[in-house]
A = this chain, B = another copy of it.
């Protein structure tokens, strides 16, 4: 909002590519290229340098970016306090989150906002955590619900984002109904060390979590198959191809050939779900309200789990 070129530059510094920046900001690649060139010209500085078939930030560029990070933060603070003082809400409010978060946390939030603030145009975007962060930078969304990763998303994250812990989401094991341990109430990961596993492909957050759970046990699991969607993984498991881990927030669906079991034993892997905003934007009334709603929803989920725990 302060200057669209700042947004573009920040996204570029995060993605390192004109094409990805264009895709995230909604501009065409030529527009991104032109904006960066314009910035260079008006400052008289070389910001980007060719590298292979792509392009990278010069050190002067990185320095500029970190300065701009701080300026943008200050601007967000100012805009938020202004909005807060005037009670005026922004017209557009973008929310982002990965699949399960979008379903369980964002959908209720959007519904609530639609009801209480009908004049605000709420937009939901489902996207992977890293992409959510980039969308935040690009100002396409204003709030994201993602899985906290130990690696701070691509450098200088703490200069750009603020996060609030919503809840810890434990992982369960999913077994074929015919599995030898399927009748147990809970299963230790150690007992499944030799089973074939099904995990997610690529270097997703889930995959990192998956690996971490086993390395803490000193075990290297045998990943027999890879899937992208939970649905697919569950189908694989149902077919007896292996066992898998499923976050509690993700629903099993109507699959009756698999069972979900709590994890007992030394390693109790879980993922931490957090709400992320651009640094400085917290004071904004809509953000404040949304965070409260998200936390209430999270608490409801947690207490519901305790109740189930007692029932079961």
**Chain A residues at the B interface, C-beta cutoff of 8 Å:** 1-3, 42-46, 60, 63-64, 67-68, 70-71, 74-75, 77-79, 81-83, 85-86, 88-90
B88 touches A44 (CB 8 A): yes
Using A1-B42, A2-B3 as known contacts, say yes or no to A78 and B71 having CB atoms under 8 A apart. Answer: yes
Using A74-B67, A74-B70 as known contacts, say yes or no to A79 and B3 having CB atoms under 8 A apart. Answer: no
Q: Nearest residue in B to A42 (C-beta to C-beta)?
A: B1
Assembled-state Cα–Cα distance A89/B63 (Å): 18
Q: Nearest residue in B to A91 (C-beta to C-beta)?
A: B44
B2 touches A2 (CB 8 A): yes
Task: Kindly list chain B residues whose C-beta atoms are within 8 Å of the C-beta of A89.
Answer: 44
* Interface SS majority for chain A: helix
Q: Nearest residue in B to A88 (C-beta to C-beta)?
A: B44
Task: Kindly list chain B residues whose C-beta atoms are within 8 Å of the C-beta of A79.
Answer: 43
Q: Nearest residue in B to A67 (C-beta to C-beta)?
A: B78
Assembled-state Cα–Cα distance A140/B18 (Å): 34
Task: Kindly list chain B residues whose C-beta atoms are within 8 Å of the C-beta of A45.
Answer: 82-83, 85-86, 88
Q: Nearest residue in B to A89 (C-beta to C-beta)?
A: B44
Assembled-state Cα–Cα distance A288/B52 (Å): 39
Task: Kindly list chain B residues whose C-beta atoms are within 8 Å of the C-beta of A3.
Answer: 2-3
Assembled-state Cα–Cα distance A187/B44 (Å): 56
A78 touches B90 (CB 8 A): no
Assembled-state Cα–Cα distance A77/B67 (Å): 9
Using A2-B2, A42-B1 as known contacts, say yes or no to A60 and B74 having CB atoms under 8 A apart. Answer: no
Q: How far in angstroms is the closest Cβ of chain B from A164?
A: 24
Q: Nearest residue in B to A66 (C-beta to C-beta)?
A: B78
User: Contacting A85 at CB < 8 Å: which of B63, B81, B90?
Assistant: B63
Assembled-state Cα–Cα distance A1/B5 (Å): 12
Q: How far in angstroms is the closest Cβ of chain B from A168?
A: 37
Task: Kindly list chain B residues whose C-beta atoms are within 8 Å of the C-beta of A63.
Answer: 81-82, 85
